[in-house]
Amino acid sequence: MLMELMLRYNYWISVVLMLIGFYTMISKKNFIKKIIGMNIFQTAIFLLYISMADIEGRSAPIIISETGYVNPLPHVLILTAIVVSVSTTAVALSLIMKIYKEYGSIEEDKILEVHS
Amino acid sequence: MANGEITSIVIRTVSRIIIPFIQIFGLYTIIHGEASPGGGFQGGVILGTSIILLTIVFGLEEAKRRIPRGLILVFMSLGLLIYSGIGLLDMLFGGKYLEYTRLPLPLSGHEISALSILCVEIGIGITVMSVIILLFFYSVRDEDAHGINA
Amino acid sequence: MDIISIKPLLAVSVSLVSSMLILVFRRHKNIRESWTILASFIKFLIVASMIPAILRGDAIVYTVISILPEIPFKFRVDAFGLFFGLLASFLWILTSFYSIGYMRSLKEHSQTRYFACFAVALSATMGIAFAANLLTLFVFYEILTISVYPLVIHKETPEARSAGIKYLVYTLSGGVVLLFAIIISYSFAGTLTFSDHGFLAGCASREILQMLFILFIIGFGVKSAIMPLHSWLPTAMIAPTPVSALLHAVAVVKAGVFGVVRVIYFVFGVDLVSELGLGIPLAYFVSFTIILASMFALVQDNLKRRLAYSTISQLSYIILGASLLTPHGLIGGILHIAHHAFMKITLFFCAGAIYVVTRKENISEMNGIGRRMPITMLMFFIAVLGMCGFPPVCGFISKWYLLLGSVEADQLPIVVILLTSSLLNVAYFFPIVFVAFFKKPEKEPESKEAPIFILLPLTLTAIISLILGIWPDAPYSFFQIANIVFQNVTGGVI
Amino acid sequence: MIQNLPIFIVIIPLVTVFLIPLVGLWKRDYCFYISALSITLLFSISVFLLNLSINVIHYHIGGWEPPWGIEYVVDPLSAFMILLITFITLLVILYSKKSVSKELPNSIVEFYTVFMLLITGLLGIVITGDIFNMYVFLEIASLSAYALIAVGGKRDALLASFNYLIIGSIAACFILLGIGFLYMVTGSLNMADLSVILPKAYASYPRVVLTAIIFFIVGLSIKIALFPLHTWLPNAYTHAPSVVSAELAALMTKVGAYVMIRILSIFGISLLGDVPIADILSWVAAVAIIIGSINAIAQTDIKRMLAYSSVSQIGYIVLGIGLANQTGLTGGILHILNHAFMKGCLFLAVGAIIYKTGIRNINEFQGLGRKMPYTMLAFSIAALSMIGIPPLCGFFSKWYLALGSVESGKWIFALVILLSSLLNAGYFLRVLEKAWFGKSIHEEVDEAPGSMLIPTLILAIGCILLGIFVTIPVSFINSILSISKLGWT
């Protein structure tokens, strides 16, 4: 049982990362930290995709290899997902900049104070 | 530090040397899109970072002088137009969107495909580069500036 | 036999068109009002032209459009629908004249809105009368609810607004319950088309059908002001008097009653209702309303509110007649729709006339009003006689049939209730007449009647209620149509 | 060229997105014209597609056969959604000319760029047959929505947008995870392919598939703001520019509901028979209907009231999905259509009122009916339709939903629907009463300009026509249900 769990350590790592990211996203009051959490969450999912594409003993998906290569499709998907993630981060950061200009803070508590 | 540029002579000189190499590496990555690791996204980002480095070191004014905002916008649209233009060209010759093999070129199917993918990657690269630069320009732009065209 | 003709659609849409025209010509008073008059005459003529076919025992149908894939938006004029349609369209003519007189004398604001909404309400009433299935009926039922709302809060005072809210809360809730009942019936029966012997028989278990019946009664009961769902009606008396007269004595409340009768006879059918054992309990239930509402009426000082409680009581007569499930009960109930309409509209017209001339609404202030306005109060007296059931006014006829019906159904307590209620009617109507004719006013004002536009309609309605009492079975009369209804429902003759 | 039509649905707005900044360099006002032109073109294509969709069109991009390549599928359901999106957007774009130049005078170019990006995303979600592609388009649409809400740059809008972004990103991550799990057990991303493979995969890996569906449902519930995951919606709709509120309220959540229908039909009846997902959805939806309406009653800001009303109306759509029978689903899809018209009309009318008077508090609406009769007329028609007064269109979706509830033996939902129409009456009639009756307190106010009035009125007339001729959408929805394989009914 334990061995079986250990064998899937890659999934465990990404699950732990996901939870860290998710927790950061919902618990931190600092907006930048929220965004960091979001990035951790997204990256954990990318790891999940990439590690599931892996086939033992195969090389990266480049045609020159003789031994065959791992499933390339998740890599492509993740490439797209990274772009999405980067765009989200960009939008979020620009929002934070504007919020900072308006409220003079990026701490949720202080902003709510200013707000009310 | 009026424009936020860095005055250290070391950094300025090193950057001056390094930026062209970054750009060449970016082009290399774009061109290697169809058969090996690389592609428009990655290459575009690398090209974009070279301009970001330029902005950091030499200031926004200098960067804007070298690459005016209008030009970036034109590039951004141009890249996408290359991409969709090739798709439309394929459709013109009776294929599906981005079905390259129908293009009437004196080459084998594989070669046409590779050529078309290269063009598409270049288009994507240009767009990504311009978007990255624009994003950075926006982030450091003056307080009172408004609008893409400001 | 079903005759296909566009007449029902025309009858419904003519006032709808006129309401648009009223809005278009809002700047020209006389043109605007002439549209109302014109539409009311056209509407009445269209409805009246359908009488011969109905008396032959035919029905007139017209399918407008498919409202849902399985349910057509369809009109079917049978005897009962025609009865109601004829009544409402005829009284609209009189009310139109009366409205013009009333609104102009009082120099009311927003007259365009008033006339437009009135026309829409009449369209909806026609639609309810002529609807061939429950969904079509429901569509018009809701349009009626909404179109009357602006009329209720016409005064725009805080009091009127809260009355409007009360009106909406009650009627919309009723509509929702009704819709629930309709949906359940549709999912069980797969049809909503009225049929002479009901369409629900054998569709669902006894308990579900009983529950459904109660839902229907609650749904229609709000507009027909069955206690304890009645309290919107007295509050809504804040509306201008023509509204109270036509809508809150004829169109709106009778639409509710009409719905109840439709449900009992055309949705469930006589056999099913008596098999479920629901008729007599309903009769006893509405008996409470008859007695209680009369008692409430006794203590009202505001004339219109007293009339409203009287309406509540009288509406339950009709439901009582229908729920007895006997031939005379049914005819009595249906006849009372018309007879009560003529009498009550007279009373309301009189109340309005008094208000226009003296600005008085409370009975205690009306000392000697009969000397100032002899014609008005004479007509009031005629109507009062009818309400109390004295011959030869028409109220007597319908009460007579109701009494016969309850004897037929072996329900002697109901006979007692009807008679008691007549006594109560005397008790709350005669003091008004007494005050009007025999009490001395504080100072002797000169005799002055209301304008002719007001006086003429109320005289007409009073005279018609006399005629209906003296010669009830005249050709083309309500009595004959009621007879056809009875024949359709039971297949027999008296 | 006909067989290439599906790709144009995505390419045209995408190219427009990048043309607008270029044109904006030259002349700002032309941004509007080029967007309008593009949407008009899209609208005419979508009319074509609706006719063609009876024979489902499969478009393989780059000639790659599915399940390897990305496939665009135009079946009746997606064609219907495309037509809805393009039609509403066309009206909103027409409306935007005046509204945007007043509300966002400094960001016209940005607005149209991002707006067209939003349209690209929405259309892409609807047309694609590839589940990962759907995720990408969903994120394109969401990102543009975040940006559009914040574009005015007001304080509240920024916070609302950021809040939406955080919650929306969580939803996106969940959906991405769900896709990942599905790919793990099936090795396919094509929706049609997935629905074939999934029953077998479910037999071998029940827990993975189950986890996937839970991630999907939770993620999508956030995206469509299903109670209790609706918290982002009221602020976002309230503080967004009028045009954006209208577009998002009318379309964004509807597209989310469309995705939900698609995802559930991928999983199909074999799985949903085992797990009471549909039941849970319908109960949650019932609570959403009631809570949303009650919250709406408590609001004094008109846009916030409409936003809460949206929360409740989304409950209707999800209830239709959760009822899992033919009638209920007909009601759900019909409500997607009807609610798009009604809510679009309401938000446009409110936008016109804000444009002219700047008031948002319901108590200040007094006498507006006399000053802006046509705007208020449109508002009233849509409001009455929301209440469910026949023969306006809102009544008929309620009819089907209630009928579906009774048919599946869950009478309680029928009661909820009917009760909620009373609650709807509570908050809408309050506004109508204020607006139509009583003296006006606004002296210098007149009717909204024609370019704002006409789209609003068209939507209002649409509410009436969709009600009177309800058989046309209903019979089309019937053909949707028979042709598009919606596998869980």
Determine how many CB atoms are found less than 10 A away from the CB of residue D64: 14
Helix (H) / strand (E) containing C381: helix C374-388
Strands C59-68 and C2-4: parallel
Residue D444 has pLDDT above 80, yes or no: no
Out of B126-130, C174-178, D202-206, D231-235, which region has the weakest mean confidence (pLDDT)? D202-206
CB contact under 8 A, D471 and C164: no
Contact B135/A at CB under 8 A: yes
Q: What is the DSSP string of chain B?
A: -TT-----HHHHHHHHHHHHHHHHHHHHHHHTTTTSS--HHHHHHHHHHHHHHHHHHHHHHHHHHHS-HHHHHHHHHHHHHHHHHHHHHHHHTT--TT-GGGS--SS-HHHHHHHHHHHHHHHHHHHHHHHHHHHHHHHH--TT--STT-
Residue C106 has pLDDT above 70, yes or no: yes
Query: Is C460 part of a structural domain of the chain?
Result: yes
Q: Which residues contact D90 (CB under 8 A, 6 or more apart)?
A: D36, D39, D40, D43
Residue C156 has pLDDT above 60, yes or no: yes
Q: Which chains are within 8 Å of C by 3+ CB pairs?
A: D
CB contact under 8 A, B87 and D22: no
Contact A76/B at CB under 8 A: no
Q: How far apart are CA B57 and CA B62, in angstroms?
A: 9
Residues 78-97 of A with CB under 8 A from D: 80-81, 84, 87-88, 91-92, 95-96
pLDDT of residue C445: 67
| Helix orientation angle between C111-130 and C252-261, rounded to the nearest 10 degrees | 10
Average pLDDT over residues C327-332: 85
What 3-state DSSP class applies to C224?
A: coil
pLDDT of residue B25: 92
Average pLDDT over residues C446-458: 80
Contact C282, C319 (CB under 8 A): yes
- Percentage of chain C beyond pLDDT 90 is 4
Report the residue of B75, B77, B135 to disrupt the D interface, i.e. the one with the largest count of D CBs within 10 Å: B77
- Percentage of chain D beyond pLDDT 90 is 31
Average pLDDT over residues D64-86: 86
Residue A69 has pLDDT above 90, yes or no: no
Query: Is C493 part of a structural domain of the chain?
Result: yes
Q: How far is B72 from chain D (nearest CA, A)?
A: 10
Q: How far apart are CA D226 and CA D313, in angstroms?
A: 10
**Taking CB atoms and an 8 Å cutoff, what residues of chain D touch C139?**
390-391
Q: What are phi and psi of C65, to 5 degrees?
A: -165, 165
Residue C453 has pLDDT above 70, yes or no: yes
Q: Is D207 exposed, middle or buried (0-12, 13-18, 19+ CB in 10 A)?
A: exposed
Residue D287 has pLDDT above 90, yes or no: yes
Residue C5 has pLDDT above 90, yes or no: no
Q: How far apart are CA D317 and CA D312, in angstroms?
A: 9
Q: How far is CA D336 from the centre of its chain?
A: 7
Q: Which residues of B have a CB under 8 Å from any CB of D?
A: 70, 73-74, 76-77, 80-81, 84, 87-88, 91, 95-101, 127, 146-149
CB contact under 8 A, D62 and B80: no
Residues 16-35 of B with CB under 8 A from A: 35
Q: Which residues contact B105 (CB under 8 A, 6 or more apart)?
A: B111, B112, B115
Distances (CA, A) of C178 to C141, C145, D392: 10, 13, 18
Distances (CA, A) of C40 to B83, C11, C89: 69, 10, 7
pLDDT digits (tens, 9 = 90+) for D364-375: 888 888 888 888
Residue D147 has pLDDT above 70, yes or no: yes
What 3-state DSSP class applies to D6?
A: helix
Please state the domain count of chain C: 1
Residue that wins the pLDDT comparison between D488 and A35: A35
Max mean pLDDT range (B41-45, B108-112, D434-438): B41-45
Contact D208/A at CB under 8 A: no
Residue B145 has pLDDT above 60, yes or no: no
| Among C456, C393, C455, residue whose Cα is nearest residue C429 | C393
- Percentage of chain C beyond pLDDT 70 is 98
> What residue in A sits closest to B39 (Cα-Cα)?
A79
Q: How far apart are CA A25 and CA C135, in angstroms?
A: 52
pLDDT digits (tens, 9 = 90+) for A41-65: 999 999 988 888 877 777 776 666 6
Taken in order C343, C346, C350, C351, the sign of the CA dihedral is positive
pLDDT digits (tens, 9 = 90+) for B86-96: 888 888 877 77
Residues 18-77 of A with CB under 8 A from D: 18, 22, 25-26, 31, 34, 38, 41-42, 45, 48-49, 52, 73-74, 77
Of A26, A91, A102, the CB nearest to D155: A102
Residue B85 has pLDDT above 70, yes or no: yes
Contact A83/B at CB under 8 A: yes
> Which residue's entry shows tokens 């025609």?
C82
CB contact under 8 A, A87 and D143: yes
Q: How far is D264 from chain C (nearest CA, A)?
A: 26
Give C192's DSSP letter.
-
Q: How far apart are CA D470 and CA D481, in angstroms?
A: 17
Residue B149 has pLDDT above 50, yes or no: no
Q: Is A58 exposed, middle or buried (0-12, 13-18, 19+ CB in 10 A)?
A: middle
Residue A91 has pLDDT above 80, yes or no: yes
Report the residue of B29, B34, B41, B129 to disrupt the A interface, i.e. the one with the largest count of A CBs within 10 Å: B41
CB contact under 8 A, A52 and D184: yes
Q: How far is A94 from chain B (nearest CA, A)?
A: 7
Strands D57-60 and C59-68: unpaired
Q: Which two tokens stand for residue B38?
A: 């690389």
CB pairs under 8 A between B and D: 65
| Among D446, D467, D449, residue whose Cα is nearest residue D457 | D449
pLDDT of residue B108: 76
Q: In chain A, what is the greatest distance between 2 CA atoms, to the nearest angstrom?
A: 66
What 3-state DSSP class applies to C27?
A: coil
Q: How far apart are CA B16 and CA B7, in angstroms?
A: 13
Strands D57-60 and C71-77: unpaired
Q: How far is A63 from chain B (nearest CA, A)?
A: 7
What 3-state DSSP class applies to D187?
A: coil
Number of alpha carbons in the 13 Å side-chain half-sphere of residue D283: 4
Contact C81, C129 (CB under 8 A): yes
Number of alpha carbons in the 13 Å side-chain half-sphere of residue C26: 12
**Radius of gyration of the CA atoms of chain A, in A:** 19
Average pLDDT over residues C270-277: 84
Q: How far apart are CA D445 and CA D334, in angstroms?
A: 37
pLDDT band at C247 (very low <50, low <70, confident <90, very high): confident
Does the domain at residues A2-115 carry the CATH identifier 1.10.287.3510? yes
pLDDT of residue B1: 42
Residue that wins the pLDDT comparison between C490 and A75: A75
Q: How far apart are CA D431 and CA D426, in angstroms?
A: 9
Does residue C158 have a cis peptide bond before it, meaning omega lies within 30 degrees of 0?
A: no
Residue A104 has pLDDT above 70, yes or no: yes
Q: Which two tokens stand for residue D315?
A: 């409950």
Range of the domain at C428: 278-494
**Average pLDDT of chain C to the nearest whole number:** 85
CB contact under 8 A, B139 and A63: no
Q: What is the DSSP string of D229-267?
A: S-THHHHHHHHS-HHHHHHIIIIIHHHHHHHHHHHHHHH
Average pLDDT over residues D466-478: 87
Q: Which two tokens stand for residue A40?
A: 């951790």
CB contact under 8 A, B138 and A94: yes
pLDDT of residue D487: 57
Q: Which residues contact D397 (CB under 8 A, 6 or more apart)?
A: D316, D320, D331, D332, D334, D335, D338, D339
> What residue in A sits closest to D182 (Cα-Cα)?
A49
Q: What is the DSSP string of D318-380?
A: HHHHHH-SHHHHHHHHHHHHHHHHHHHHHHHHHHHHHHHH---BGGGGTTHHHHSHHHHHHHH
The pTM (predicted TM-score) of the whole model is 0.90
| Among D259, D285, D135, residue whose Cα is nearest residue D277 | D285
pLDDT of residue C444: 66
